[in-house]
Amino acid sequence: MPEVKVYSTKQCPYCRMVKAFLKKHGIEYEDIDVGEDEEAARELFQVSKQLGVPVTVVGDEVIVGFDAPRLNALFGTGKKDELYDVVILGAGPAGLTAGVYTTRKLLSTLIISENIGGQAMESWAVENYMGYRMVSGEDLMAKFEEQARNLNINLELDRATGVRREDDTFVVTTYGDRTVRARSVIVATGRRPRRLGVEGEEKFWGRGVSVCSTCDGPLFRGKDVAVVGGGNAAVTAAIEMAKIARSVHLVVRSTLRADAVYLDILKAKENVVVHQPYVVSGLIGEAVLTGMKIREKETGTEEEIAVDGVFAEIGHEPNVDAVRGLVRVNPGNEIVVDENCHTSVPGIFAAGDVTSIHGKQIIIAAGEGAKAALEAHMYLLSR
């Protein structure tokens, strides 16, 4: 077995998932915290040319991010095709809640997800989930996961790539080359961060450009960074990065849309500069990011700002690839559901941020997950 190293930070939920995967498969590894050790951060870049985590080194192979299919290929064990009452796609608030409810209804359940916690894991602070005055997204989702694990729910770290109907069942295929059959499916795949779409973004991805400040923020301690966006996610990221970085440039396209409580905290941060109304027009650097271009929307005036990191917090788009062309979606590519989480295909239900339900909140996603599970149970009883 080759030597395995994991470069990580304490705040990174995806790092925790890599380590949980290795532990599950009995793989010994060396955990290197690059958020606290500057020399380790330099080593990370030398090994992988990355300024982001997690990075896993297996012998001579470098695996960037939580690449569940590649980890499965290296360390996973093949499983026979099985038939489940319910297969749930996604393990965020909606998917994990759905799993708890289907299991309590004694339905054989499999959850397939490339991460545990979903988009909620990227939240620095959650202040509107009942029962908690304030809790980090990671800690809240750890509670969700703990409850699901205590029920011995089957949870596979993989990515669903397709769903098709075959006779009276659904066939789910995965990126890890697995095929699973199900009597019903709950799609709770959530959303993925939207990219900036500017010149240089691909070049500097993982080399200064990131969509996860909770993961990669500690690598920019004492440096100059930018956060792009004007909503709650962007403002809270700027607030937290102000505690770590030397300076934070908050680039806002139009108006600040964050809650008043966050805006009050932002105003008190002396090392945060707000650029409004501006857009990012380009990214600058050689091997790594060294700056960005921003353009004033009204006059078109462009200027360059020296930064070491740029964090995009400009919204998310739904993860519908696995069921694209099978269920009906709206113009925003959200899965269309009725008030009971039914999609356009009998036997396929959907819940959480991937759906057309307006509210994109953790507490709403969890409730929709419970509804979808109960509806799946009723569907199976009726058959």
Share of the chain above pLDDT 70, in %: 99
Q: Considering the domain boundaries, does residue 112 fall inside one?
A: yes
Contact 140, 121 (CB under 8 A): no
Given a cut of 90, whether residue 207 has pLDDT beyond it is: yes
| One domain for residues 97 and 188 | yes
pLDDT digits (tens, 9 = 90+) for 154-205: 998 888 999 999 999 999 999 877 899 999 999 999 999 999 999 999 999 9
| One domain for residues 304 and 321 | no
pLDDT digits (tens, 9 = 90+) for 79-108: 666 899 999 999 999 999 999 999 999 999
Q: Considering the domain boundaries, does residue 257 fall inside one?
A: yes
Q: Considering the domain boundaries, does residue 57 fall inside one?
A: yes
| One domain for residues 295 and 325 | no
Q: State residue 80's pLDDT score.
A: 61
Q: Considering the domain boundaries, does residue 349 fall inside one?
A: yes
| One domain for residues 374 and 322 | yes
Q: Which of 25, 44, 75 is the last residue of a domain?
A: 75
Q: State residue 78's pLDDT score.
A: 61
DSSP reduced 3-state for 367:
helix
Q: State residue 308's pLDDT score.
A: 97
Q: State residue 157's pLDDT score.
A: 85
| One domain for residues 186 and 91 | yes
Judged by average pLDDT, the poorest of 62-71, 245-254, 328-337 is: 62-71
Known catalytic residues? 212, 215-216
Given a cut of 70, whether residue 334 has pLDDT beyond it is: yes
Neighbour count for residue 267 (Cβ, 10 Å): 10
Question: Average pLDDT in the 324-332 region?
Answer: 97
* Strand-pair partners of 205: 209
Given a cut of 90, whether residue 330 has pLDDT beyond it is: yes
Confidence of residue 73 (pLDDT cuts 50, 70, 90): confident
Q: Which of 312, 329, 354 is the last residue of a domain?
A: 312
Tell me what the pLDDT averaged over the chain comes to: 93
Lookup: tokens for 294: 């921003």
Q: State residue 158's pLDDT score.
A: 86
Question: Considering its fold, how many domains does the chain have in total?
Answer: 3
Question: Average pLDDT in the 31-60 region?
Answer: 94
Contact 164, 158 (CB under 8 A): no
| One domain for residues 280 and 215 | yes
Q: What is the CATH number of the domain that holds 248?
A: 3.50.50.60
| One domain for residues 14 and 35 | yes
Spell out the residues 6+ positions from residue 319 whose beta carbon is closer than 8 angstroms to its own.
90, 189, 190, 191, 192, 354
Q: State residue 383's pLDDT score.
A: 87
Q: Considering the domain boundaries, does residue 17 fall inside one?
A: yes
Q: Looking at per-residue confidence, does 178 or 241 come out higher? A: 241
Question: Average pLDDT in the 300-306 region?
Answer: 96
Question: Average pLDDT in the 362-373 region?
Answer: 97
Q: Alpha-carbon distance 194 to 82, whole Å? A: 35
Q: Which of 294, 312, 330 is the last residue of a domain?
A: 312
Q: State residue 72's pLDDT score.
A: 85
Given a cut of 70, whether residue 77 has pLDDT beyond it is: no
Q: Looking at per-residue confidence, does 242 or 38 come out higher? A: 242
Q: Considering the domain boundaries, does residue 197 fall inside one?
A: no
C-alpha distances (whole Å) from 214 to each of 122, 237, 260 are 6, 8, 22
Q: Considering the domain boundaries, does residue 49 fall inside one?
A: yes
| One domain for residues 184 and 326 | yes
Q: What is the CATH number of the domain that holds 50?
A: 3.40.30.10
| One domain for residues 308 and 321 | no
| One domain for residues 228 and 249 | yes
Q: State residue 79's pLDDT score.
A: 62
Contact 206, 50 (CB under 8 A): yes
| One domain for residues 9 and 62 | yes
Q: State residue 328's pLDDT score.
A: 98
Q: Alpha-carbon distance 75 to 46, whole Å? A: 25
Sort residue 203 into left (φ over 0), alpha (ψ -120 to 50) or beta.
alpha
Q: Alpha-carbon distance 187 to 336, whole Å? A: 11
Q: Considering the domain boundaries, does residue 62 fall inside one?
A: yes
Share of the chain above pLDDT 90, in %: 78
Lookup: tokens for 136: 């980090």
Angle, CA of 155, 320 and 173, to the nearest 5°: 50
Residue range(s) defining the domain that contains residue 259:
209-312
Confidence of residue 22 (pLDDT cuts 50, 70, 90): very high
| One domain for residues 187 and 330 | yes
